Amino acid sequence: MIIIIMKNIIIRKLWMLLLPLIIMAACSPQEMDDFSLSEMGIVADANISFTQTVSPNSDNVITFTSTTVLPDNGVYTMRWDLGNGGTSNKVTATGQYPFAGDYTVTLSIYNPDGSVAKKSVVLSFPKSDFNLVNTPLYVNLTGGAGDVDGKTWVLDRYNNFAKEVKNATGLNINGHMGLGPLNSRGQEWWGAAANDKSMWTIYDFKFTFIQNGVKLNIENKGEGYGRKAVAAANGFNVTSIAGDDALFTYSGGQYTFSLTEGGQYPILTLSGNAFLGYYCGHQDYEIVYQTEKVMALVVHNLVEGQDWCFVYCREDLNVPPPPVVKLNKSIPLMETFEGATTLAFVAEDMGGPEKSAIIGNPVPLPINESSKVYRYWKSTGFYSNLSFTATDYKFDLTTVNKVKVKVFIPSFNDYTTEYAVAGDWISNKKLKPQLAVKLQNSEKGGDAWQTQTEIVKADLQMDKWIELEFDFNGVKDRKDYDKIVIQFGAEGHAGPGFFYFDDFSFNN
């Protein structure tokens, strides 16, 4: 009996000891009277620290390194304002201060609860170090200290210099703007043709870099352009959306800039919300190529996993090339994908070589047992396609007017799901077992589709090679066509899928 009573007493005491812990565990942090921000590991102003290291090459170059101890129970963002127009979100940042004066450097830590902790230091430079701006990088960009009006750059809208950039860098750069995979620094996925964005006012942007005061003046016509995935999130007033592009109110203005050397490529950093024609998420541009006449800049769009590459030229060099007179010629075309390719097909939004490429025939069945075929990837982009453009002639459709091709339509693609579409004008939302072939006038650039004649072969047989013919004899009197577009799966929707084709020909 005594043993039982003692057990009950012990159990009762243990329960009383555990009860507060159970109550605390059952309460949310907001319900605990003694809850404080310090328990979340919030960084306070007093806890921010950083070091300053003077460059051995110049007293006016300082490297800042954050030594702030960040608690491990939260997500933090840091931002440097270097006081010279430069910013960074890295642990270490380097600022150049070529001109004498006082500069306020601020390190900000953004806490998980939305609060911001800051620490600032004022740097005083009694002497200017003009050697910092008297470099080829600065001189090419601005025209040098003697050019008080600076140098004005614009997008190379006519692609006069894209080939020069490609040859000099070895990067896949074919247009004045375009994109490719992250860290590719190229335009594998799309490169703009000459005047490709003439429906916008993007070609009216002017960027004037002035060495004295490291100033940047941006002029435009009140409208800005960029990625819809990042524009609104970074404070731009988006007025409309077109596919992945955002259009927003933007009137340029006066900014500053900084140049940082020492990495794989020099970095051009713009102050405020400045951007050079098309906004891709931030103000840091890698200078992958630069001369006195032309420069190519790359922005890493980390949000979407893309690299955007832009080619700019001096404003006075931005002139249309002499018109090329293309005569109509009867030139048969053939591509079997065996050995060296004979036709320069250009892929648009087809996933790069890891998705769209010449591969071994995965289904060597009658009527196509050849060893190589083309694997076509209809990506989640709305307008995937493959095209060929005759560079120096127009098609004489009176004698060459039939496209023939062997195709394999796999049944493993998803042809039932409805996907996002480019706009309300797209009625079909599904991937289709079909092939469309179009003839276009490439001289119209981004408006070439408005000139096209299209033939669609729909509801094709699956899981076997079939041969198709597209007869354009009905438009044999057209003299303006020089471009053939191949498009599987139907356009305007985001449905992905693989298709295969082989033995392409354009003949009579």
Question: Over the stretch 206-223, which tens digit does the pLDDT of each residue have?
Answer: 999 998 888 999 999 999
* Residue 320 or residue 88, greater confidence: 320
Q: 333-372: per-residue pLDDT in tens?
A: 999 999 898 999 999 999 888 899 999 999 999 999 999 9
> Span 312-332, mean pLDDT?
93
User: Could you tell me where in the chain the CATH 2.60.120.260 domains are found?
Assistant: 327-507
Distance CA 399, CA 329 (A): 9
- As beta bridge partners, residue 72 has none
The tokens describing 153, both together, are: 């750059």
Fold of 327-507: Jelly Rolls (2.60.120)
pLDDT band at residue 7 using 50, 70 and 90 as cut-offs: very low
Average pLDDT of the residues in 449-469: 97
* pLDDT single digits (tens) 464-500: 999 999 999 999 999 999 999 999 999 999 999 999 9
Residue 40 pLDDT level (bands cut at 50, 70, 90): low
Q: pLDDT per residue over 60-83, tens digit each?
A: 999 999 999 888 777 788 899 998
The pLDDT, as a whole number, for residue 11 is 36
Q: Which residue has the tokens 């020089």?
A: 482
Which ranges of 153-233 does DSSP label H, i.e. alpha helix? 162-169
Answer with the residue of higher pLDDT: 18 or 344. 344
Convert the pLDDT of each residue in 105-135 to its tens digit: 999 999 888 889 999 999 999 988 877 777 8
Range list for CATH 2.60.40.10 in the chain: 39-128
CATH number belonging to the domain at 39-128, selected among 3.40.120.10, 2.60.40.10, 3.30.1320.10, 3.30.470.20: 2.60.40.10
Distances 402 to 98, 272, 390, 476 between C-alpha atoms, Å:
65, 55, 16, 10
How many residues does the structure list for the chain?
508
Residue that the structure tokens 């306020």 belong to = 104
pLDDT for 429 beyond 70 = yes
Instruction: Calculate mean pLDDT across residues 37-49.
Output: 76
Residue 12 pLDDT: 40
The secondary structure of 213-271 as a DSSP string is TTEEEEE-SSEEEEETTTTGGGT--EEEEETTEEEEE---EEEEEEEE-SSSS-EEEE-
- Token pair, residue 423, equals 């706009």
Residue 23 tokens, joined: 């109550």
Q: In the predicted model, is pLDDT for residue 23 greater than 60?
A: no
Q: Are 77 and 150 in contact (CB under 8 A)?
A: no
Q: pTM (2 decimals)?
A: 0.53
Q: In whole numbers, what is the pLDDT of the chain averaged over residues?
A: 89
